[in-house]
Structure 1
Amino acid sequence: MARVALHTLGCKLNFAETATLARQLVEAGHTLIDWDDVAEVYVLNTCTVTHQAERKAHKLIRQVRRRAPGAQIVVTGCYAELRPEALEKEPGIVLVARNRQKPHLVQALTSLLQGHQPGLPLPPPSQEWTFWPSSSGEGRTRAFLKVQDGCDYRCSFCTVPQARGPSRSAPPEWVAAEARRLAQEGFREIVLTGINLGDYGKPHGASFLDLLQRLEREVPPTVQRLRLSSIEPNLLSDAILDFIADHPRWAPHFHLPLQSGSDRLLGRMRRRYRRRLYEDRIEAIRKRFPLAGIGVDVIVGFPGETEADFTTTWRFLADLPVSYLHVFPYSERPGTVAASLPDPVPWPLRLYRSERLRELSHRKRWEFAQRCIGQVFSVLLETPTEGLTENYLRVQFCTEGPVGELVRAVITTAEEEVWATPLG
């Protein structure tokens, strides 16, 4: 069998799927090595959310060719799903597996290494989308559990429905069983992930709240923290917030994509809410969790974004009691409605506006950390002197503690870094 290196670009779902590929490769008899080492096979799991992600994929492929000229390169992921022809032209690539073919990749790779025809036994790329169960661990402290995939929304800027397929979910019994397995492996925190997490339930009918309630009942207490990844604001119901408020294991941390604070642009983006609903959801969170960590995704430079639109967005975010921003300059994606909209914003202006919002994010992080001074949190140690609180505040310690354990600590100072002192 072969020495195989894997690398992931993109979202937490991709990381979970790469981890599953790694487990399957080991079970098939292959040896895993670091990406920067000389391998016989390199497997790259790609992203296509921006043009920079695609450029990064080609850069990594060129680096592999220089480092290991005789190696075989396998590419999968969203870029492989949407633009396989762009990858098939690259020298050294022996197999391009689309997302819907990813569950069969290890079998196809093993067959290829045995001298069979490239691409066998991959099913045709036109096959029906299915849910591929996956999970990953981060430093043996936090585990990411994929419970949902795909999206039925049709935002005008987004290629995810084409790259990931329709919304579909893991059966709740599998999710509970996998969470128990992760508990047995020693993880103290499990993060639920999905492309459109709040849309969990298709096709089996269980709601997202049903899933949370089941996990609360069935996940062993050795898992001391459960967390949601990004969730659409229109899907974050009061019932979900009330459940999290009533069950202390669930982290008071919410990441809600906004994309724009301008209702006019939200309409052009084909988002399923307007700023009033978003503001209402932030208020609902703050009412229940005064010190919740709240993250925001925002796109700047969308076609037709005027200075007034940007100022509206900046002021909206400045006034919202949120903790941090993830800022993205708009990137044209082929095949999307937005790519053909008039009035594109020049790239220098997109970058300037991005920087202004990143400066605002820095201020928001500082203000949030200041509010946490003197408060006691549970810190999951990711290194002996650094960890993450339940409300997603990264903190430092002067003394060392046990990696992978939760430590009660009080926040003492918050400037460029946040410092905490363990209790007891």
Structure 2
Amino acid sequence: MRTRPRTFLEVWSRRTAPERFDTYTRWTLYLLSASEPLVALALVGIDPTFTVDGMRVWLLLVLLHTVVCIVTLRAGLTHFLGGAPVRPALLGALGVLSIAVSVVAIWTFPVDGPDDVAGSARYYAMLVGIAFGVLALVPSLTFRRLVVLALGLAAVTGCSVWIGTGPITPTTVGMAVGLALSAAIMLVAMFGSYRASVWMLGVVWEQERNRVLHARLAVAEERLRFSRDLHDVFGRTLSVVAVKSELAAELAARGRPGAEEQMLEVRRIAQDALREVRAVVAGYRSADLAAEMAGARSVLRSAGVETVVHGEETVIGERAQEALAWAVREGVTNVVRHSSAGTCTITLHRTDRHGVVEIVNDGVPPGAVRRSGSGLAGLGERLAAAGGELQTWSEEGRFGLVARVPDDGGPAPGATSAPRTLPATERAPRS
């Protein structure tokens, strides 16, 4: 029984890599959207000419707008990843508040003439409502539409320079052009970064779904292969048994000789079928060390665990290979099922006429209580039957399994086995 995590680090360590990336991306976007009130307060500090009544109303609208933006962004991310669509009422509230924040900003930060344009925060305050409102809609919009919106908002911001400034002058024209260009660059960068983050989140979950699908297909393929082998073994045999049984029954019913011989033939066929089935099952139950090492890399790679293998060239006798192959199989199964490992090292070597396999991973959760499962107990019994032993250890977030069995069929005299620290034969990328 696994203990329930109590601290943030325990919860975080038990999450998969896609879940961690999802949490990081979501909260990064939420925190960026939550910075809207801080931007508003900065604008109030920059331009002290604001009206007090307008400032209070504007800041209240900004707070409400921030809450609605975060809720809309969360709903948009859920819909982008295959969930329910964003409710129209929520989109309507977002649009009304975005326009209200921009309109009230014009009243909050007055401009008396062309000379006040350069020092006024009105134009940036207008962008606060519209820009953060569009950011909340990023999961629902394509990058092309976001660019068009950014350019349109930049043009509107530039044209707003002439609101309340009187006749057009070279100063207002220069300010309008400069403000439009700076707003366009800033908005395209903001919208693009938000969209890229959302797109990466979708790619990560798509890869995770593909990994799970491939694992299920591999299991289904193995089941089909096993059923096909059983059909090939049993199909013809059972047909022959049925025919001969009917023949024996017919001969016995008519009182004719030969029924006994037919039933003896049925018994012989059944015994042959039993031997064939045992051979098929033995082929599945026996373990090959080279195949298990290759399978370990494949399984760990599919689970997103970076894998390093040492000593594959080590010569191991046939009697020791099967026991060590079972150790590799059980050890890798424990890493995939019972840990949150990021890296795993598998080392094969020989010491003092013993074949040894060591499997070390870094996936022990903080505060986890060490327990010996039935799989390790069965592996220990299997190794003991072969004259070997199983040892496990755990420290500083790492878990190690050491399987040792006698090996008299190692390298010939004068041959050298591979050292323990051979270069990694393969390093699996994290998925």
Same fold (TM over 0.5): no
**Whose Rg is larger?**
2
Larger relative contact order (C-alpha < 8 A, sep ≥ 6)?
2
Calculate the TM-score normalised by the size of structure 1: 0.18
More strand by share: 1
Calculate the TM-score normalised by the size of structure 2: 0.18
More helix by share: 2
